[in-house]
Structure 1
């Protein structure tokens, strides 16, 4: 470490600073989230799922059957959306930085220089003045403040402690903190990746995607399907070749082309291609809607996050409070003429601090005394003083205003002891309590301000942190929804508890985080019952989130300081206020742009709408996946020709799933979130898909006994059976009945009719009118299918949905 006396006089030499910079002892910040663009592309493009889909797409294009290759478009969109979302998250994380100071001021060769923060080196002498941000960890070696010119540092963004900290020679300074009063010379002790701010930044930059039950369940389902496709492809391909006379005959006759097209149609029909796309569209539309309400969604699946949350962790300052103090009340102790005017003068003085200024509203109209001498407030002394001239309305003498235990250092009178006890009791309520005391003696002379003898208490003045006007109503909303609230702050536990009680939080018993256990299991025990925590470090906030998650909770974390960033990032849903630092906003999934806490119920409602609607839409897609797999396996094993062309499946996909799913996913829906999305969806979709499969098998078996029909007639009949039953599945899932939903379902039936009525669409999709025997058979099968779907709906509502309605709101 550099010699202190040398640093004080001249700092490093320019040559020494350059050498240390070359040797890697500079203050360059670590960059990058550890995930390159190529890695993102590889993770989203080169998947088992995409390999199967695009292989089928390429085969059909190679065979000149582009009309049957339309399924490749949504698959391409799915891949593009995944890459864009992940790359945007990477860019946000790469831009994350705790330090935003444009320059640093250092002493080199005895001369001050302003340099970029990255060029600060180990051992440099930082010249710090009011308003500067500390660019590297350092140690105070020369405090230029004395008396009223104290050296105070604001570490609230790093530690959560809202009050400025007085620093003396030898004290440590953390990078990212700001100087709010005085000046100093400090020796740099840690730079770059070793500094406090850089370590926070590195942790926050670690890449992760928001936890989404919808996305997780859908991805899990797609993995199941993609692995199942390998044996299914072999079954379907073998069955189709045998259906066209066997491998040798099919190749010799050219029928292998139709066999391949049928095999591709069967396989691609098994994949719910549009489900990911519709989910992404629903998230995107919700993101736009919330942005209009000043809520920025930085990762689209975060829309659903708050709907699943069952524990909400709140930072006090900036979330429950505005960060400003408000005058709460005055508690007179002794009647000394003119004390109101003194308080008014303290509140209206040009150099009044933020707390004293709040006295102006209550006492500013009282006649102010003539001031002979004034001592400004100092965070080290904890008091300010006025020596006033007396008149007919006010008594002259010395008035001291500050913390009771500092003003009455030696309470010899009963009133002094009583004042300190009362101040302590008020502080226990979380109020910032200051004492106004009086003595007829003047202020003592000398270089450093000192208190006069004989001070007697006159009044206790209390201040309360100003709660956000929307905080109480919003907390009540979450209480009604069964969401637990934990208030976590770096401030005094008593102050935090008082604010929590003020906004209506029940059981606001303060817990000092310095007494908390380090083990996650033990910490989780405390977190289950505790509601209010003070003196919490950034690492403890993060540990609290992990402890709650270990107990199965879905955790949201709000905040605005860098000290909140790690916890916000690791929470299931991180929410940053408008006043948050750039680092905190970068890792948050949701940013309240106007800082209105009451926006969060709207995010809950939007998340519920998305979850409920996607669950409904997923049943449509999974019904299709079920009957596609069942048809492929059964027709393949029995060597029956696949009953559709890929383009004919495009009719049913578009009318029974794709188009209506888009509208259903965007409709209002206030259903409360319940875990088990995938289980509920599959419990309806699998039986529904088997009903469709049974109808197609019945058609295949009975049609043979009714006569000889062309391939186009049979394919048209199969398309109508599939569409007729699947459209009723749509009608069932669109309930409860609503005019718009009725219109959507009716439009799909009309669209099916138009395909047959318009010659150009009839030719493109290769469908035709059915002979009467085949038409009646189709109608009968569809009617039976509709009855079975209605029975399934009643069973599902009673035995699945009804049972889950009693399940607690908890992640699955």
Structure 2
């Protein structure tokens, strides 16, 4: 028996033996790239604890602990609780994401001891022999040892969209993927030495960057950081001038600075995203980048491939309509199916109906390519045969095309089996084609496709079906799903290449057939050029370029490893109906964070304004840290946590920062002025004590801040009313019960100053209410008090 071929002591037919693998693992020659799903537990704890704002609050907490009393440092406990909640939620999200990532990762087919086994990428070792087929992601660098029409797309590495034909001895790089043919390669660089390892690690990290929401919050926090320095200096100077008591001055300074820091805003944003990951994880949805949740909520155009999205990926052979009675059609179909070691869905259906026969040996093979729309093989004396799109293989005046069109309008897929004039591996192949048979394939429409399309229509999200199949066939399927304008499908071969003209044609149509991979990418770019936020769904290797360029790429779990690698969202259970839940989750996150941002920034604005006014007039600060902890926890901290995790179906819009500032700045100014005026008037009453002066200011601030909360919580539903009632009741208990009065240092017994607080707050509430309705009228936004 002849020995198996060797390459540097590696058997290229049987692959590595168990002993060879063991030696390489012991030597550290493994594909030990870092886990791609998430940060480590240590990183999560560090990121939640060691923050700029925790450092500020920590310093202020230490100062209060030094000067006392200890109960004035209650605000420090809230920071600890919020940080613990953030760590817990992100650790839960990490656990969910890590489990899902294992399911969704690309698993290479590796030769070990003569058998092909599927392995996780991190178990590949140096010199492993890895088998390749269409759609396979190349996980490590290597050298090709065998190839049959092997074409590799390296666009994700080089930017060059044209596939590269690989021959034995050629190099392949990690991060590229197979678009056609099959082959085998030997791993020459693994782990961190592989070309794309670092890029892949960065691209798929569990991250919160590149998000309009996060960027907007960071911009706001940057401004607040600059305001803290002059505000703190002014209030320190003012407190030292207004009182000779240094501990009292420090307490006043801390009380003024603490509410300026919106420490919970970033935390709640992280928690909202983390909870979103967990919720979507329960629906078998892998979010590879957290901002994808937000991004899909902003999408207004969804480009969906027909196969695997609207219809099941599997097919069955419905009919073979023979056109040439002399052609051995069953034998040819069986032989063609046998030439592809990794057949696509069409060839699998043909192989099930027509098994291979003896005597048909392929002398040349042309694997299926999405760009050319056909595959084929040459069988020596049996001739050259091709299988592909009739309109591509036949001249426009062929009568066979009319028969094919009649089948296409029924929503069936039609392939032409024909005899080619030359060998399929010739440069000019296939040449003239003699029709031999029409192969009719049937796909099953997904039961979740129609309700999903209806959901998008109700949410003003336009769906465009972009497929490589015949336009009439795709249009027939889309028509049964009641997609608008599906009865007027467009053949992509007639589309202009110029971007503006292409965008106009895309705006007019919803169904496009015979689209090449390059055209899918161009379509996404054309839609984006018109200001659309585009999501692309797909499962085939021909969708990769478009998935990569789309704002949000959505891949099916059973799709090719390449599509799963470049997509931000992977639907592991292949359910198109999961997309509405992803959209809804994104809307919940964006809408709710905008709500709570209004609360936090209103507090920052009135805190800065109060610090300035108090500093200018040189009077003691009206609050202790206990007062502000009470007001902040009942009007911001506790309700913000519930509002951040509540349902929200409002469509996401751009302009987050402008909308938040439009609400927070005037509301904060009203709250700050109202509190200062109340305090100033109360101090003018000589019959009232300093504690009664402070209590009047606390009541005025709480009522105005509570009304801001009531506006932000609109439209009301039962649980929001319960939340508002609970917060208000909590304040009344602290204000009126003796225990609350002693602990929070409140004294509401002076009727005149209390009346001043109530009147001032009533005027402020009227201003806020009128402003809210006028803002809605001016911006033509329908305002509602009660939810549906």
- Is the shorter-chain TM-score for this pair beyond 0.5, marking a shared fold? yes
TM-score normalised to structure 2 length: 0.71
Deviation at 1:238, TM superposition (A): 0.5
Partner Cα separation in structure 2 for residue 44 and residue 541 of structure 1: 41
| Alignment-derived partner of residue 686 in structure 2 | 707
Q: Kindly tell me: are residues 191 and 46 of structure 1, through their superposed partners in 2, closer, same or farther at Cα, counting changes over 3 Å?
A: closer
| Alignment-derived partner of residue 226 in structure 1 | 225
RMSD of equivalent CA atoms:
6.0
Q: Kindly tell me: are residues 321 and 139 of structure 1, through their superposed partners in 2, closer, same or farther at Cα, counting changes over 3 Å?
A: farther
Partner Cα separation in structure 2 for residue 310 and residue 776 of structure 1: 52
1:752 maps to which of 726, 731, 755: 731
| Alignment-derived partner of residue 75 in structure 2 | 71
| Alignment-derived partner of residue 624 in structure 1 | 603
| Alignment-derived partner of residue 462 in structure 1 | 440
Q: SS at 2:251's partner residue?
A: helix
**Residues 349-748 of structure 1: pairs in structure 2 closer than 5 A:** 355=346, 358=349, 380=365, 403=386, 418-419=399-400, 431-435=413-417, 460-464=438-442, 466-485=444-463, 493-494=468-469, 498-499=473-474, 502-503=477-478, 504=483, 509=490, 511=492, 526=502, 530=506, 534-536=515-517, 552-560=531-539, 572-580=551-559, 588-748=567-727
1:276 is the counterpart of 2:275: no
| Alignment-derived partner of residue 11 in structure 1 | 7
Deviation at 1:217, TM superposition (A): 1.9
Moved more, 643-652 or 206-215: 206-215
1:795 is the counterpart of 2:785: no
Q: SS at 1:762's partner residue?
A: helix
Deviation at 1:731, TM superposition (A): 2.6
| Alignment-derived partner of residue 290 in structure 1 | 280
Q: Kindly tell me: are residues 751 and 141 of structure 1, through their superposed partners in 2, closer, same or farther at Cα, counting changes over 3 Å?
A: closer
Give CA deviations for 1:299-319 in whole Å, capped at 9, x if unaligned. 555433321123435456544
Partner Cα separation in structure 1 for residue 489 and residue 73 of structure 2: 62
| Alignment-derived partner of residue 423 in structure 2 | none
1:212 is the counterpart of 2:211: yes
Larger Rg belongs to: 1
Deviation at 1:676, TM superposition (A): 2.1
Contact 2:408 2:472 in 1 (8 A): no
Q: SS at 2:715's partner residue?
A: coil
Deviation at 1:766, TM superposition (A): 0.9
Deviation at 1:184, TM superposition (A): 7.6
Q: SS at 1:802's partner residue?
A: coil
Partner Cα separation in structure 2 for residue 700 and residue 729 of structure 1: 20
Q: SS at 2:517's partner residue?
A: coil
TM-score normalised to structure 1 length: 0.69
Partner Cα separation in structure 2 for residue 601 and residue 793 of structure 1: 31
1:263 is the counterpart of 2:253: yes
Q: Which runs of 5+ in 1 are unaligned?
A: 1-6, 107-114, 144-150, 245-249, 386-398, 438-454, 517-521, 806-812
1:54 is the counterpart of 2:66: no
Partner Cα separation in structure 1 for residue 596 and residue 389 of structure 2: 67
1:307 is the counterpart of 2:306: no
Q: SS at 2:365's partner residue?
A: coil
Count residues in correspondence. Answer: 714
Deviation at 1:793, TM superposition (A): 1.8
Partner Cα separation in structure 1 for residue 260 and residue 713 of structure 2: 23
Q: Which runs of 5+ in 2 are unaligned?
A: 115-121, 157-162, 367-374, 420-432, 507-511
Give CA deviations for 1:488-534 in whole Å, capped at 9, x if unaligned. 78xxx455895476334857545579997xxxxx7687567556784
Deviation at 1:755, TM superposition (A): 0.8
Q: Kindly tell me: are residues 55 and 352 of structure 1, through their superposed partners in 2, closer, same or farther at Cα, counting changes over 3 Å?
A: closer
| Alignment-derived partner of residue 424 in structure 2 | none
1:241 is the counterpart of 2:240: yes
Deviation at 1:55, TM superposition (A): 1.8
Contact 2:469 2:514 in 1 (8 A): no
| Alignment-derived partner of residue 118 in structure 2 | none
Partner Cα separation in structure 1 for residue 132 and residue 606 of structure 2: 73
Contact 2:517 2:542 in 1 (8 A): no
Q: Kindly tell me: are residues 133 and 708 of structure 1, through their superposed partners in 2, closer, same or farther at Cα, counting changes over 3 Å?
A: closer
Q: Kindly tell me: are residues 590 and 169 of structure 1, through their superposed partners in 2, closer, same or farther at Cα, counting changes over 3 Å?
A: closer
Deviation at 1:483, TM superposition (A): 3.4
Deviation at 1:236, TM superposition (A): 0.8
Deviation at 1:611, TM superposition (A): 2.5
Q: SS at 2:7's partner residue?
A: coil
Contact 1:688 1:792 in 2 (8 A): no
Contact 2:679 2:696 in 1 (8 A): no
1:772 is the counterpart of 2:754: no
